[in-house]
Amino acid sequence: MNKAFVREPDATDELCPRCGAIGTPVPRAVVTRHVREPAAVAIAETANFCPSPHCDVVYFDMFERTISVTAMRAPVYPKDPEAPICACFGLTADDIDRDLSEGVATRTKACLLRARTAEARCGELSPTGQSCVAEVQRYFLRRKS
């Protein structure tokens, strides 16, 4: 990437061409794993995941090329609120809400514990290419307050 125009740290952030959200960097290898037609993917080696729930762009790159939800193999959280937050153990926002309404974080804790074990493949299975732990915790705390 050409760094000549970078004046402040935030300038390295790439913004979703559809909604303007700051993307999370995702390697192209992760992108091709989650789309229906990997051979047809036209996106940079380092793409970005758009985290906005209401934007249908899943991945984009600095050339404003995008891949939308319709090109994905499976529903993607948070674009689809019913899709699992934890792609490896299938924990959904609904599971976390149920934990909160029951006042015990049984499902959430079980997922977080498993996510730290060797059987966890969160980073591999998640369309964001990252472990689900941070997102699960963020959602839990947001709903709890």
**Encoded tokens for 11:** 């300038």
Other CB atoms within 10 Å distance of the CB of residue 49: 24
**Interaction between residue 88 and Zn ion (CB under 5 A):** yes
Q: Does 57 bind Zn ion (CB under 5 A)?
A: yes
* φ/ψ of residue 26, rounded to 5: -135, 130
C-alpha angle 34/131/94, rounded to 5°?
A: 80
98 near Zn ion (CB under 5 A) = no
Q: What x-and-dash track marks residues 21-50 binding Zn ion by CB under 5 A?
A: x----------------------------x
Q: Name the one range near Zn ion by CB under 5 A: 3-11, 12-20, 75-83, 95-103.
A: 12-20
93: left (phi over 0), alpha (psi -120 to 50) or beta: alpha
83 binds Zn ion (CB under 5 A): no
- What's the token pair of residue 64? 């404003």
Among 77, 132, 135, 140, binds Zn ion (CB under 5 A): 132
Residue with tokens 């758009």: 50
User: Is position 112 an interface residue for Zn ion (rule: CB under 5 A)?
Assistant: no
Classified as helix, coil or strand, 31 is helix
**Contact region with Zn ion (CB under 5 A), list: 1-9, 33-41, 75-83, 111-119:** 111-119
Q: Is 19 in the site for Zn ion (CB under 5 A)?
A: yes
Residues that bind Zn ion in the complex, under the rule CB under 5 A: 16, 18-19, 21, 50, 52, 55, 57, 86, 88, 115, 122, 132
